[in-house]
């Protein structure tokens, strides 16, 4: 069977075309496109088809979309795109098209990864039963903030999407309370995504400079005029060359760890939580330090329970794409069994 899959975010649209059956698959074409340069997902796919000379019929397709999905229609959160299963099926002549939330794709993609694609940040309790299938939650900051839940139901993993990234930010200490107060003067709603995202890193940086009066380097300010501020901040924090950038990432990690802990509590009891998204892998050496886990487990009477949850950082950036590919293969297999 010929399958098409995509991982569609506010920054990049990742597409992959494969020839697959139940036992193996061969990747025929794969490419990333800057999402903002296209008017629609259909326009990106048509470009992909043209560049890779794809003219054979596609049997099934799945697209993991960064935004809410309802009744086969998705609104992309950080793009002016509306994506419809019916429209894609009609225009591309694909009989089976499935749209899923991007973190549903990430959740299904976890099963496609190897042990080397994870960094264990906290080793929790392991079941002695080799047949036991652990429930898990997934959280990931990138262009936005995604959250999902994974449970073993009727012999297979089922992913449940959410829009928890748009839930309200809950401060955990005096500095974060000051940050929330500063943000509430600008916005009527301060979501987790306001801070746990690429833009959120720059928001924290601006807060620490303006409200906390931490001095800003002229060189850092100049670099931000010509490049993504989040990249400048994280690179400077990793190198330890700028105090404001280091403090920014430290605050970000504290908020991230606490938010991951809250997600675990919302889906409790769970055995594992996975940290996904583009930012985590870039700052893994900071995330693997004590700050994230200290914030994660700091849940009062639930602290001892939090210490039993395994926390894994996903280092494979294609996890969402692999999850969409797996879903496309699954819907084709299920359809042919009916």
The domains of the chain are located at 2-110+318-337, 165-314
- What is the residue-averaged pLDDT of the chain? 94
Q: ∠ at Cα 77 (73, 80), nearest 5°?
A: 80
pLDDT value, residue 78: 82
User: With pLDDT > 90 as the criterion, what percentage of the chain qualifies?
Assistant: 85
Distance of CA 33 to the CA centre of its chain: 17
For residue 333, the model assigns a pLDDT of: 79
Give the model's confidence band at 268: pLDDT under 50 very low, under 70 low, under 90 confident, else very high. very high
Q: Report yes or no: 156 and 181 within 8 Å, Cβ to Cβ.
A: no
Q: What is the mean pLDDT of residues 311-317?
A: 96
* Tokens of residue 199, six digits: 């833009």
Residue 184 has pLDDT above 90, yes or no: yes
Is residue 323 predicted with pLDDT exceeding 90? yes
SS3 26: strand
High-pLDDT (> 70) share of the chain, %: 99
Give the pLDDT score at 338.
60
Is the model more confident about 113 or about 130? 113
**Please, which residues have CB within 8 angstroms of residue 145's CB and are 6 or more apart in sequence?**
139, 164, 165, 191, 192, 193, 196, 197, 259, 277
Whether 22 shows a pLDDT value over 90: the answer reads no
Residue written as tokens 């494979």? 316
**Sheet order of strands, 310-314 included:** 118-122, 310-314, 272-276, 136-141, 145-153, 156-161
Residue ranges in the chain assigned as alpha helix (H): 41-52, 85-92, 102-109, 174-184, 198-210, 218-226, 229-239, 243-266, 278-282, 284-287, 290-297, 303-306, 319-337
pLDDT in tens, 41-89: 999 999 999 999 998 789 999 999 998 999 999 998 888 999 999 999 9
Residue 336, pLDDT > 80, answer no
Name 257's Cβ contacts closer than 8 Å, sequence gap at least 6: 291, 292, 293, 294, 295, 296
Per-residue confidence (pLDDT) for residue 17, from 0 to 100: 95
pLDDT confidence of residue 10: 85
* Domain 2-110+318-337 part of CATH 3.30.420.40: yes
Give me the residues paired with residue 14 across strands.
7, 32
> What pTM was computed for the model?
0.93
Model confidence pLDDT, tens digit, residues 218-238: 999 999 999 999 999 999 999
Summarize the confidence of residues 250-263 as an average pLDDT: 98
pLDDT of residue 242: 96
Count CB neighbours of 266 within 10 A. 14
With cut-offs at 50, 70 and 90, classify the pLDDT of residue 331: confident
Q: Which pLDDT score, from 0 to 100, does residue 328 have?
A: 93
Which architecture characterizes domain 165-314 according to CATH? Answer: 3-Layer(aba) Sandwich (3.40)
Residue 294 pLDDT greater than 80, yes or no: yes
Quote the CA–CA distance of 166 and 145 in Å, as a whole number: 8
**Distances in whole angstroms, Cα of residue 45 to Cα of each of 13, 202, 253:** 9, 32, 36
């Amino acid at each position: 069977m010929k399958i098409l899959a995509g991982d569609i975010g506010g920054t990049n649209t990742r597409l992959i075309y494969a020839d697959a059956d139940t036992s193996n698959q061969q990747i025929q074409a794969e490419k990333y496109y800057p999402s903002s340069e296209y008017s629609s997902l259909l326009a990106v796919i048509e470009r992909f088809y043209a560049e890779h000379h794809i003219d054979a019929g596609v049997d099934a397709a799945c697209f993991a979309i960064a935004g809410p999905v309802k009744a086969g229609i998705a609104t992309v959160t950080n793009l002016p795109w509306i994506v419809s299963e019916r429209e894609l099926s009609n225009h591309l002549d694909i009989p089976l098209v499935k749209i899923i939330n991007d973190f549903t794709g990430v959740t299904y993609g976890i099963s496609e990864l190897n042990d080397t694609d994870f960094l264990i940040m906290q080793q929790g309790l392991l079941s002695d039963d080799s047949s036991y299938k652990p429930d898990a939650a997934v959280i990931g900051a990138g262009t936005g903030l995604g959250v999902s839940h994974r449970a073993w139901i009727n012999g297979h993993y089922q992913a449940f999407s959410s829009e928890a990234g748009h839930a309200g930010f809950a401060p955990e200490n005096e500095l974060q309370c000051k940050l929330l107060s500063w943000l509430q003067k600008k916005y009527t709603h301060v979501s987790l995504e306001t801070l746990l995202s690429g833009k959120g890193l720059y928001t924290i940086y601006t807060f620490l400079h303006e409200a906390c009066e931490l001095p800003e380097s002229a060189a850092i300010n100049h670099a931000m005029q010509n490049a993504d501020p989040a990249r400048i901040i994280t690179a400077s924090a990793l190198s330890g060359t700028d105090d404001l950038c280091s403090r920014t990432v430290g605050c970000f990690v504290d908020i991230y760890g606490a938010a991951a802990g809250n997600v675990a509590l919302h889906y409790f009891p769970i055995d594992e939580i996975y940290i996904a998204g583009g930012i985590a892998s870039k700052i893994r050496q900071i995330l693997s330090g004590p700050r994230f886990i200290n914030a994660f487990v700091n849940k009062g009477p639930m602290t001892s329970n939090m210490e039993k949850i395994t926390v894994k950082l996903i280092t494979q950036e294609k996890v969402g794409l692999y999850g969409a590919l797996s879903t496309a293969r699954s819907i084709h297999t299920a359809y042919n069994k009916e």
